[in-house]
Amino acid sequence: MLEYLLELDGLTAGYAGKPIIHDVSFRLEKGTITTFVGGNGAGKSTLMRAIYGSCDHLGGGIIFDGRQIEKKTPWERYELGIGFVPQGRCNFPDMTVAENLKMGCYTLPRNEHRDRIDAMLESFPMLARKIREKAGNLSGGEQQVLETAMVLLSEPSLLLLDEPSLGLAPKTQGEVFEFVKRIAADGVTVLVVEQNVHGALLISDKAIVLEMGRKFLEGTAEEVRNNPNIRHAYLGGNLSEEEVSE
């Protein structure tokens, strides 16, 4: 039997009572990576916010780990295991990597901080190497890893990543995608909104295409990548044989 961590059932959501997301339904299996694909303003970030609880719920249901959560606050959803890394830089740039990681522990009992941070440093040695650096002095990709690690310290079972590779050089984007793959391999279910659709689909199990706030298409990442309409609209037309076989 498939195990679903998240189920959306006819979700409608928006801002100030005005719907942006209309009647969206889908299910996410545990430990998988899913990418939301869509043009500018299609509602990808809003759908992510609706799952986290930071926009208006206007109808339909959200079941997370067997519980109905659509009426819960972001804090309650966070406590249940939904972690959100929003778009843009969100660390404390004048604090060191160590201090940022301590900030990421603020909801945990004090006696657990050290063990959790040590485990995180073991998983992501770059953070150990830069432990005394100010976060603001790290590269964009390193800051993205730090910010995701800060959220992972609370051990979420669902991680929402809004544009993790935005503004990064292509090589660093690749590193961030590898990092996301490792997180999912550890059993965390990941939902990604990405401007680099090609890169995101390469690491994803599944993709959900949105158009004007509605689900337009859903399939395996490979199906969506090979769909001629999607390739034309979001992947810059025809991909080379090399890219397709990656």
The residues of the shown chain that bind ligand ATP, judged by CB under 6 A, are 15, 20, 38, 40-46
The residue among 20 and 184 lying less far from ligand ATP, judged by its C-beta, is: 20
The residue among 15 and 106 lying less far from ligand ATP, judged by its C-beta, is: 15
The residue among 100 and 173 lying less far from ligand ATP, judged by its C-beta, is: 173
DSSP 137: G
Q: How far is the CB of 104 from ligand ATP (least distance, A)?
A: 25
Q: How far is the CB of 56 from ligand ATP (least distance, A)?
A: 9
Asked if 47 and 13 touch (Cβ cutoff 8 Å), the reply is yes
Q: How far is the CB of 55 from ligand ATP (least distance, A)?
A: 7
Residues facing 34 on adjacent strands: 191, 206
Q: How far is the CB of 145 from ligand ATP (least distance, A)?
A: 22
Token pair, residue 47, equals 């759908």
The residue among 45 and 148 lying less far from ligand ATP, judged by its C-beta, is: 45
Count of alpha carbons within 13 Å of 228, Cβ hemisphere only? 0
Own/partner pairs for 10-13, CB < 8 Å, 24+ apart? 10/59, 10/60, 10/61, 11/47, 11/50, 11/57, 11/59, 11/60, 11/61, 11/62, 11/70, 12/58, 12/59, 12/60, 13/46, 13/47, 13/49, 13/50, 13/55, 13/56, 13/57, 13/58
The residue among 80 and 90 lying less far from ligand ATP, judged by its C-beta, is: 90
Q: How far is the CB of 25 from ligand ATP (least distance, A)?
A: 18
